[in-house]
Every structure is written in structure tokens, then in C-alpha cells.
Amino acid sequence: MIDLGAAKAIQACEILDELGLDCWLLWVRETDQMTDPALRLLMAGDVVWPSALILTRSGERIAIVGRFDADGLPAHLFDRIVAYDEDIQPQLVAELTRIDPQSIAINTSRSDVGADGMTAGMRDWLMSLLEETPYLGRLTSAESLIQRWRGRKLPQEVACIRSAVALTERIFDEIAAELTVGMTEREIFDRVQAKVERHGAGFAWHRDHNPAVDAGPDKAFGHVGPTDRRTRSGHLLHFDFGVRVDGYCSDLQRMIFFGRSAEIPEEVDHGFRTIRDAIRAAAAVLKPGIVGADVDAVARQAVMDAGYGEYMNALGHQVGRNAHDGGTLLGPRWSRYGDLPDGRVEAGNVFTLEPNLKTASYGMISLEEDVLVTESGCEFLSVPQTELICVEG
Amino acid sequence: MIDLGAAKAIQACEILDELGLDCWLLWVRETDQMTDPALRLLMAGDVVWPSALILTRSGERIAIVGRFDADGLPAHLFDRIVAYDEDIQPQLVAELTRIDPQSIAINTSRSDVGADGMTAGMRDWLMSLLEETPYLGRLTSAESLIQRWRGRKLPQEVACIRSAVALTERIFDEIAAELTVGMTEREIFDRVQAKVERHGAGFAWHRDHNPAVDAGPDKAFGHVGPTDRRTRSGHLLHFDFGVRVDGYCSDLQRMIFFGRSAEIPEEVDHGFRTIRDAIRAAAAVLKPGIVGADVDAVARQAVMDAGYGEYMNALGHQVGRNAHDGGTLLGPRWSRYGDLPDGRVEAGNVFTLEPNLKTASYGMISLEEDVLVTESGCEFLSVPQTELICVEG
């Protein structure tokens, strides 16, 4: 796992300043049992006792941790490591009093799991520890901070994602060359997983359903594992697959047709072109400053204009340390997405583009590409699938 | 990974009834990014969209999940799986209205990370979803429920822990036979980790410092990785090591002396016997009904009575799905432990016993055993270390 903690810490302090926030407090414990997702961008290791990691607008970085955890912390990450024995409160209050921040950002968010790493019990406890101080009233959400921080990938982070995407594409190429009609979803799934392991990579999401392998017209796509359903001539095969390389993820969908190119039914061809073109249309408008919901609307409308029903997921989510990396979402303004579709796209964001549709006779058609937002538009990190991959015999 | 979800679900409903709680609501999302520890006792897989898993006192089990997650759920775990598309609120309120619970336990706890799986943002959101209903006022903490539920190991869970303990002991035996004076902490660490992998087991905590390997008098014990410090004749070597087998953990400490048994300095011998006997004394009082702090006090007092300073950790924590499994703690009433030391020991609990002390010239002496609480006392799951393991040459 690549260690970008120091670089991300510097970036976090810069974003604090940009947002006019005085400090950021990560308030965590027993992080091998429940891990604040934001912690993982700073350090790979864990703390056991209740710990306060403080980053300030001026660039100072302080860790207040239990004595047993102090030696295990990455020393280069912090200007000062304060160890306590029985009770963290005196040192926590002392540090805050010294810094005297007017705002203390904490990891709570209604909409964004990546920015919501503080548990309810930990927040209650923090508030009681600060009860007699002016700092209780200065707590605020770190949501904007974390979203910008996770979302603006550093060049080293983009390089990791590129590696993950390249490996995913390589495995797609390999499996496409091995496929034969009659293989079951489970056989194909096992082969792909063996390749991931052979390459020493990890899985971008739970390996129970990574890759998702969906054969034929009747399989509902979703977060579900493979079955013993067999591939058949004239049918489609769908993959949703992502790996993890150096701690960063890819997330791609590809479609295979079992038969010769000339045998692709018009219904399938029309659906495939609709999805491919919806991705192109969305990519054409994706650039810094645009609101997530407006990008979603372009692809959604394209699919519906082509005569298909509306798909019930967002067009695209960010990708990074997690396959679903939080922050601005290219999605519709549905309740379950909270305010994520209202976010504005920034340079350095990495998004999926993944519209889909349902055909009458051949099941679902869905593709997914990964794109990097640049200063003026976006760049495909994957080589977009422009034609169905045909597997004969 | 062994699937005890259905058995644990039945047990949870029984404990709801015992506590007079009408239902338990797990309220989670994107669980591969941030996982409520309680979820893992029910199912290994993840949900992506906001999800409500409801268990009732009468034994009913309902999942309200996003459409894409529904097919991936373990169907045998739930009587009913309700899928939603845009907004979970209508189905959530409908299910609660149908059940009409007088109390709804949710996963928030000040002291226990294992019972504090709901994030602050998710609790805020849940409360807003229930604002217009009578159920907002019926939310209560699931802490007691979860502590009893995690803590009362089923026979199948104890069997997994026994396997993990047995493997840990086997690896200790193997490494003790391979040790030679002059090996560095890092060399020993690498050998132990290779053995864990060869046995196909996992690590009970972060592999950065598992095993902890501490050579000589100057190394501070704690959650810290190995160094290039060399073992030396006449010095002690300390291990803190745990593996994961079928999803369950072990956590043991062992001590080696480099030299012949007859060469053990009196200071070391006295310290070792003090720790060994403190463990025996604590085990002698450990039984259902005793308060955690009272067990801690027995060992703590024994060490101090023998002329040593007080150790700055708890005597013992529970072990299970995590090395630190939460619930009643055999510990002192220090602020950082919250109310865990006030809990009462129950049959089926598995605890570590791990007092330690600091000698003047040979560094720390620390042992750790794993014990199962029975109906009338406790049973050692590990074979207690009663003498220093001597390695010559």
C-alpha cells in the first residue's frame, strides 16, 4: 500500500484554509473494529484507545493518543504526539485551548458515508468532554472538507487508479479470450477471481459479488453473486468488476455477446449504442464547476429519449480508496442520495459513468467507464467499450 | 468464514425479550466502507444503499434495503426482504407502524465500540425520518443487547476461538524451536507471519504489529511494529500475537528467556512468577455475576503487593470476532474505559487475562491467556505458560 498520508495531510490543511475552517478533529478509537474512512487517507495503521488527531489551518498536525498507541503512529505525519494514560480529556482540552480554533470540523454527514466517520456514541462523548469549554459550540461538520479532500486526487492517487483500471482491462481481455459458450456464471467468476489473485491485487468491493457476472436475459443486475446459470449462444454476458491496487480502486462494466458480430440482434445493438452514446454525451459536459445532477440528467435523458425506462441508479460516483468514494455524485436528486447530487465537480475528481437500460428480450445493457476530471473537461482512464465483444463457439 | 448469522439472529431475538426491548434496528449503508461491527455477526456481505435490518422480540426478522442489494442478502436470515427504489422512508415507517414497538434499540454507545456502529450522521438522518411518528421518542441504546449478544458465545463460536488459540500455540511452539540468539525482532516477526499465511489463517489485529515482538530491556510494549533490535543472551523476548480462524480471534502473550533455566536472574524469575500467579488469582475469582472491575482488582493488587508499579492497561478484554470484542471489561474504572468495567461477567464470555510489570533491569514481563467463563467459574482455552521458555545458543 502506497503511503500518501503526509501529502494528503498537507492537502487537508490547505483545504481547511480555503474553507475558512480553523481545525479538523478526527476523533476515533479501536479503528481495526470500526474505521473512520477519512483516517485511511492519513495512515494505514490503527489506534486502539480513544484518539484525537488534529490538523489546523496553519498546517500544524497533532496526535493525542493512548500511551500504547504512541510508538506505532507514523511519526512523520505529526508535529507532535501527545500520549495519555487514563483520560484523554485534559490533553484534548489543553491542545484546543492552545490552538483556540473558532471552528472545529468533525466527521459527520447526513449524505456521505466517507465524511461520516464519527459514531453517534463518540460524538456524544466528545460533546460531554467539551461541555465546560467554548469549543462545544464551535463544532461543525467536516463534510465539505472531506469531500474536497477525498475528491481532489493527487497525481500519485490518479496513478494508482490508472494502474487499477489497467489491470482490470487486462483481466477483461484475458477472460474474453477464454470464454466459451456454456460456461456458468460461477465458472467465469472463479476464473476472474483467480486472475486477480495471481496479479497480487485486491478487490474493489466485497468478493462475494466481484466480479458481478450476469448471463442471459433473466438475471437482475445488482450487488449479487454468481449463479450456476449457463451462458448461451445469442445471449449477452455482463461484468461489473473492480480491483484494488496500492489501495486505490477501479470500477468497470463490460458486455459480451455470444455469437458473430453480424448476428447481434437489432434490439441489442440499439440498446448498446444508446448506452455507449449516453456515456459519451455525459463525458462531453463533465468539467469543473458543473453540478453533479446536471451531468446525470444528460445521460438519463439520452436513455429515455431513446425509448427506454429510467434506470434506478446514479449515472456515476467517485472512485478512489473505495469503489464508492463519496462526495459529489453524478446522480438524480432522490432522497437516498441526500445532497450529494448538488455538489459541484472539481478538477482531480475521478468518476464512473454507468447508465443502463432494459431491453425487451435480452435483459439489461450496462457499461461503466472511469474518467478523470481535468481543468477543462475530462479524460477517460479506461478505454471505452465502443462495440460489443463477440465470442463465438 | 463460518456463517453463524441465523443462530446469532435467533439469539438476538431471545435477548431482546430478556431485556424487555421490542425491537432492534440496524441502520447502515455502504458497509464495505464503514461497517457496523454488529452487522458482521449477522452477515458477511455488504449493503450499499441505506438499509434497515429489524429484529423483533417475537422473533421476526425484516430487511428493508435498496433494490440492488435485495438479491444479495442472505435469504435464510430474514422472514421478509422489502426492496425500495428512491426513498426508504415510506417502507421504514410502514414496517415500524405494523410492528408498533414501544422501544427501538439502535447501535449507539459511549463506551463500547462494538455497540456503537451507527454513525452520527446516520442517527441524525434516522431521527429526521421518524420526526412525524411516535417512534422518534422510542429510540434507545442497544448497548446492553449487543454486549450480551456478542459476549455470550455460542458453542460454535467457542469452537472457532479454540481453533484460533490452538493455532497460535502451535506457531509459538514452532517459532520457539527455531529461535537463535542474535535474530532481530524483524526476522522473528517475518517468520511468524509466514507461518500464519502458510496455515491459511488471518491476523487478529493489524499485521503491522502482529505479532508484537519485543526484545531486550529497552523496548516499550505497545501497539508497535518490530525493529532491527537483536535478541541477546541473558535477555527476554516477548510476543503478543493473535490469529483469526473462521472469523474468530485469539490473543496470547508469551515470554522467552535466552539462556539456560538455571541462569534466569532472580529479578526475572520473581517478575515472571508474579504475573503467572496474578493470572491464576484472577482466574480463581472469574465466574458469572462478578463485576469486571472486581476481577481486575485481584490481579492488579497482586502485582502491586509484589512490589511493582501499577500497569496502565486493563487486566482483560473479551475476545471474539475481534481481538478486542467489547462488552464487560476486566479493567479499572478509568475514564477511557467508560462503564465497561461495571459490567457483570456472564457464562459464555471469553476473556484475556494479561497483567504485566516492569523489572528494574530486564524490561517488561507480560503474559496473556484466553479463558472461557463457564456456569461455575472459568476454563483456560490456552495452556497457561507456567515457566519461561528457555532458548540456548
What band does A227 get if pLDDT is binned at 50, 70 and 90? very high
**How far apart (Å, rounded) are the C-alpha atoms in residues B11 and B57?**
10
pLDDT at B1: 59
Contact A223 B68 (CB under 8 A): yes
Contact B33 A110 (CB under 8 A): no
Determine phi and psi for B253, rounding to 5 degrees. -120, 140
* Nearest-by-CA chain A residue for B203: A32
Contact B30 A324 (CB under 8 A): yes
Residue type, A83: A
Contact B336 A222 (CB under 8 A): no
Q: To the nearest whole angstrom, how far is the Cα of A296 from the nearest Cα of chain B?
A: 15
pLDDT at A221: 74
Q: To the nearest whole angstrom, how far is the Cα of B206 from the nearest Cα of chain A?
A: 7
Question: Each residue of A281-317: pLDDT tens digit?
Answer: 999 999 999 999 999 999 999 999 999 999 989 999 9
Percent of chain A topping pLDDT 90? 90
Contact A223 B33 (CB under 8 A): no
Question: Each residue of B359-373: pLDDT tens digit?
Answer: 999 999 999 999 999
Contact A46 B122 (CB under 8 A): no
**How far apart (Å, rounded) are the C-alpha atoms in residues A161 and A154?**
11
Q: At what angle do helices A266-285 and A292-305 cross, to 10 degrees?
A: 160
Model confidence at A55: pLDDT above 80: yes
Contact A68 B223 (CB under 8 A): yes
Model confidence at A223: pLDDT above 80: no
Instruction: Read off the C-alpha cell for B81.
Output: 426482504
Contact B340, B112 (CB under 8 A): yes
Q: To the nearest whole angstrom, how far is the Cα of B291 from the nearest Cα of chain A?
A: 20
Model confidence at B80: pLDDT above 70: yes
Contact A72 B336 (CB under 8 A): no
Interface test with A, best of B189, B197, B205, B336 (most A CBs within 10 A): B336
Question: Each residue of A129-147: pLDDT tens digit?
Answer: 999 999 999 999 999 999 9
Contact B85 A222 (CB under 8 A): no
Question: Each residue of A40-51: pLDDT tens digit?
Answer: 999 988 999 999
Complex-level ipTM: 0.88
Contact B108 A87 (CB under 8 A): no
Domain-wise residue ranges, chain A: 5-150, 153-391
**How far apart (Å, rounded) are the C-alpha atoms in residues A228 and A185?**
6
Average pLDDT, chain A: 95
**How far apart (Å, rounded) are the C-alpha atoms in residues B136 and B132?**
8
**How far apart (Å, rounded) are the C-alpha atoms in residues A148 and A20?**
14
Burial category of A218 from C-beta neighbours within 10 Å (exposed 0-12, middle 13-18, buried 19 and up): exposed
Model confidence at B377: pLDDT above 90: yes
pLDDT at A37: 95
Average pLDDT over every residue of B172-193: 97
Q: Are strands A139-141 and A104-106 parallel, antiparallel or unpaired?
A: parallel
Cα dihedral A166, A171, A174, A180 sign: negative
**How far apart (Å, rounded) are the C-alpha atoms in residues B315 and B332?**
8
pLDDT at A366: 97
Model confidence at B106: pLDDT above 90: yes
Lookup result for grid cell 448461451: A232
Query: Closest partner residue to B324 among A33, A86, A109, by Cβ?
Result: A33
Model confidence at A222: pLDDT above 80: no
Query: For residue B74, which residues of chain A lie inside 8 Å, CB to CB?
Result: none
pLDDT at A208: 87
Contact B34 A222 (CB under 8 A): no
Contact B46 A111 (CB under 8 A): no
Bridge partners (DSSP) listed for residue B184: B230
Interface test with A, best of B25, B29, B33, B150 (most A CBs within 10 A): B33
Contact A110 B125 (CB under 8 A): yes
* Nearest-by-CA chain B residue for A114: B33
pLDDT at A350: 98
Question: Each residue of A316-347: pLDDT tens digit?
Answer: 999 999 999 989 999 999 988 989 999 999 99
Query: For residue B44, which residues of chain A lie inside 8 Å, CB to CB?
Result: 208
pLDDT at B220: 72
Average pLDDT, chain B: 95
Question: Each residue of B297-329: pLDDT tens digit?
Answer: 999 999 999 999 999 899 999 999 999 998 999
Contact A117 B116 (CB under 8 A): no
What separation in angstroms does the CA of A344 have from each of A86, A106, A116? Answer: 44, 22, 19
Lookup result for grid cell 441524525: B124
Contact A334 B87 (CB under 8 A): yes
Q: To the nearest whole angstrom, how far is the Cα of B355 from the nearest Cα of chain A?
A: 14
Vertex B267: Cα angle to B263 and B268 (nearest 5)? 65
Class at the top of the CATH hierarchy for domain A5-150: alpha beta
Residue type, A366: S
Instruction: Read off the C-alpha cell for A218.
Output: 433473466
Contact B68 A116 (CB under 8 A): no
Query: Closest partner residue to A35 among B29, B34, B108, by Cβ?
Result: B34
Question: Each residue of A88-116: pLDDT tens digit?
Answer: 999 999 999 999 999 999 999 998 999 99
Instruction: Read off the C-alpha cell for A149.
Output: 479532500
Contact B28, B51 (CB under 8 A): yes
pLDDT at B47: 93
Contact A223 B121 (CB under 8 A): no
Model confidence at A1: pLDDT above 70: no
What band does A376 get if pLDDT is binned at 50, 70 and 90? very high
Average pLDDT over every residue of B88-108: 97
* A90: number of Cβ within 10 Å: 13
Closest CA to A288 of A331, A347, A342, A340: A347
Model confidence at A152: pLDDT above 80: yes
Determine phi and psi for A148, rounding to 5 degrees. -65, -40
Interface test with A, best of B119, B205, B312 (most A CBs within 10 A): B119
**How far apart (Å, rounded) are the C-alpha atoms in residues A90 and A324?**
38
**How far apart (Å, rounded) are the C-alpha atoms in residues B325 and B346?**
14
* Sheet containing strand A51-56, strands side by side: A80-84, A61-66, A51-56, A23-28, A104-106, A139-141
What band does A192 get if pLDDT is binned at 50, 70 and 90? very high
Query: Closest partner residue to A335 among B36, B87, B111, by Cβ?
Result: B87
pLDDT at A370: 98
Question: Each residue of B1-45: pLDDT tens digit?
Answer: 568 999 999 999 999 999 999 999 999 999 989 999 999 999 988
CATH of segment(s) B152-391: 3.90.230.10
Query: Closest partner residue to B72 among A107, A224, A313, by Cβ?
Result: A224
Q: To the nearest whole angstrom, how far is the Cα of A46 from the nearest Cα of chain B?
A: 7
Closest CA to A56 of A26, A83, A91, A84: A26
**How far apart (Å, rounded) are the C-alpha atoms in residues A368 and A351?**
10
- State the DSSP string of A218-275: TPPPSS----SPBP-TT-EEEEEE-EEETTEE--EEEEEEES-GGG--HHHHHHHHHH
Q: To the nearest whole angstrom, how far is the Cα of A225 from the nearest Cα of chain B?
A: 7
Three-state DSSP at A33 gives coil
Contact A336 B87 (CB under 8 A): yes
Contact A224, A212 (CB under 8 A): yes
What band does B125 get if pLDDT is binned at 50, 70 and 90? very high
Contact A120 B119 (CB under 8 A): yes
Contact A32 B334 (CB under 8 A): no
Q: To the nearest whole angstrom, how far is the Cα of A312 from the nearest Cα of chain B?
A: 7
Query: For residue A46, which residues of chain B lie inside 8 Å, CB to CB?
Result: 205-206, 208, 223
**How far apart (Å, rounded) are the C-alpha atoms in residues A353 and A329?**
11
Closest CA to B31 of A258, A205, A11: A205
Interface test with B, best of A1, A31, A34, A109 (most B CBs within 10 A): A34
Q: To the nearest whole angstrom, how far is the Cα of B236 from the nearest Cα of chain A?
A: 20
Lowest mean pLDDT among A163-177, A221-235, B353-367: A221-235
pLDDT at A219: 78
Q: To the nearest whole angstrom, how far is the Cα of A24 from the nearest Cα of chain B?
A: 16
What separation in angstroms does the CA of B125 have from each of A105, A113, B118, B120? Answer: 19, 12, 11, 9
What is this structure's pTM? 0.89
Query: For residue B84, which residues of chain A lie inside 8 Å, CB to CB?
Result: 336
Helices (H), chain B: 5-19, 39-42, 67-70, 89-99, 120-129, 143-151, 155-178, 185-198, 266-285, 292-305
Query: For residue A34, which residues of chain B lie inside 8 Å, CB to CB?
Result: 34-37, 113, 116-117
Q: At what angle do helices B155-178 and B185-198 cross, to 10 degrees?
A: 130
Contact A255, A212 (CB under 8 A): no
* Nearest-by-CA chain B residue for A126: B110
Average pLDDT over every residue of B146-168: 97
Q: To the nearest whole angstrom, how far is the Cα of B205 from the nearest Cα of chain A?
A: 7
Average pLDDT over every residue of A257-282: 97
Query: For residue A69, which residues of chain B lie inside 8 Å, CB to CB?
Result: 222-223
Q: Which fold has domain A153-391?
A: Creatine Amidinohydrolase (3.90.230)
Model confidence at A224: pLDDT above 90: no
pLDDT at A218: 86
End-to-end CA distance of chain B: 41
* B184: number of Cβ within 10 Å: 16
Helices (H), chain A: 5-19, 39-42, 67-70, 89-99, 120-129, 143-151, 155-178, 185-198, 266-285, 292-305
Q: To the nearest whole angstrom, how far is the Cα of B239 from the nearest Cα of chain A?
A: 15
**How far apart (Å, rounded) are the C-alpha atoms in residues A298 and A303?**
9
* Nearest-by-CA chain B residue for A68: B222
